[in-house]
């Protein structure tokens, strides 16, 4: 029973990692851009939510609802006026620019909030549990996993069943031809990044409630997100969920054997999947 509980906790942790990775997967699937500042944007969103909770004394979910459109605007402006200028056949400029953005965000957050570790207060939700048969699991981890599934369903619905989704697919396949048909690739890419940062805000909510965070943890969140994307297959949103679950289960099993092995076990699972399936479990251009 202990091992069953450990696996369930790993699956729920994987939901959080999938939330970290979904926005990264969306952006890569549409514009083939690897955003090295993605983890720092998650931390930025967490601090925005914390600030709203502290200033207005509101529920963290309401604070996240307020932060989401702000983060959409940040993503839209960032892509429209900075990252779009780096896109092209050479993958190096986006990597260099987003790496620089990561450093800027970390230092700006350090200057604004200091290096102190913070947490988003959620009252009784922090310790609330739900019985799954004979096993009790935390309510917030369970909500995070359900949110990950809903986010992926929503993204797939937008991508395949809406006019905006058709524009995403057309621009991803051939930006030049799409522009001849009246689609503005720059605006479409900006909208995609804005949507990705709404997902980032949801991930930041569960990150901030479930664990402590500080301005320097962004690169570690990026690493988990990147590993989940690679395991699932680049651009595959459902694969991203599978990748997050694999990393989460590996980490909880490693921690059950030896607490010092938690992070290492996740990385070893990532390497093992790459050895068996170098292109990931579900290698598709876009899911």
**Distance, C-alpha 44 to centroid of its chain:** 13
Model confidence at 90: pLDDT above 90: no
The continuous run of DSSP H or E covering 131 comes out as: strand 129-132
Half-sphere exposure at residue 147, Cβ-oriented, CA atoms within 13 angstroms: 26
Predicted local distance difference test score (pLDDT) of residue 137:
86
DSSP structure class, residue 235: T
Torsion 226-231-235-241 (CA) sign: negative
State percent of the chain over pLDDT 90: 68
pLDDT given at position 82 = 93
Q: According to the model, what pLDDT value does residue 1 have? A: 64
Q: Is 279 exposed, middle or buried (0-12, 13-18, 19+ CB in 10 A)?
A: exposed
pLDDT at 284: 64
What does the mean pLDDT of the chain come to? 91
pLDDT for position 287 = 40
Joined together, the tokens standing for residue 38 give 């993605």
Strand pairing of 135-138 and 129-132?
antiparallel
Distance CA 244, CA 20 (A): 9
Q: What is the mean pLDDT of residues 137-157?
A: 94
3 three-class SS: helix
Cβ-contact 45, 55 below 8 angstroms = no
Does the pLDDT of residue 30 top 60, yes or no? yes
The pLDDT tens digits of the residues spanning 170-196 come to: 888 888 888 878 888 889 999 999 999
Neighbours of 74 (CB within 10 A): 20
* Helical axes 185-210 vs 2-31, angle rounded to 10°: 160
């Amino acid at each position: 029973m202990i091992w069953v509980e450990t696996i369930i906790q790993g699956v729920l942790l994987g939901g959080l990692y999938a939330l970290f990775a979904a926005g990264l997967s969306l952006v890569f699937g549409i514009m083939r851009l690897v955003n090295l500042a993605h983890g720092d944007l998650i931390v930025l969103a967490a601090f925005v939510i914390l600030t709203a909770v502290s200033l207005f004394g509101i529920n963290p979910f309401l604070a996240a609802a307020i932060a989401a459109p702000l983060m959409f605007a940040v993503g839209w402006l960032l892509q429209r006026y900075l990252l779009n200028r780096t896109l092209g056949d050479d993958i190096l400029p986006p990597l260099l620019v987003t790496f620089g953005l990561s450093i800027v965000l970390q230092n700006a957050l350090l200057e604004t909030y200091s290096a102190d570790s913070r947490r988003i207060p959620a009252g009784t939700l922090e310790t609330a549990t739900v019985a799954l048969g004979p096993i009790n699991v935390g309510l917030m981890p369970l909500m995070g996993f359900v949110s990950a599934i809903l986010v992926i369903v929503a993204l797939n619905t937008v991508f395949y069943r809406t006019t905006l989704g058709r524009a995403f697919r057309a621009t991803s396949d051939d930006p030049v031809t799409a522009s001849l048909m009246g689609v503005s690739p720059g605006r479409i890419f900006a909208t995609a990044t804005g949507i990705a940062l709404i997902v980032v805000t949801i991930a930041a909510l569960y990150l901030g409630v479930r664990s402590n965070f500080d301005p320097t943890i962004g690169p570690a969140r990026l690493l988990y997100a990147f590993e989940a994307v690679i395991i699932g297959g680049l651009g595959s949103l459902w694969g991203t969920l599978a990748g997050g679950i694999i990393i989460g289960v590996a980490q909880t099993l490693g921690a059950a054997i030896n607490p010092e092995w938690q992070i290492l076990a996740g990385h070893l699972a990532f390497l093992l999947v790459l050895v068996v399936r170098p292109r990931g479990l579900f290698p598709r251009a876009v899911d």
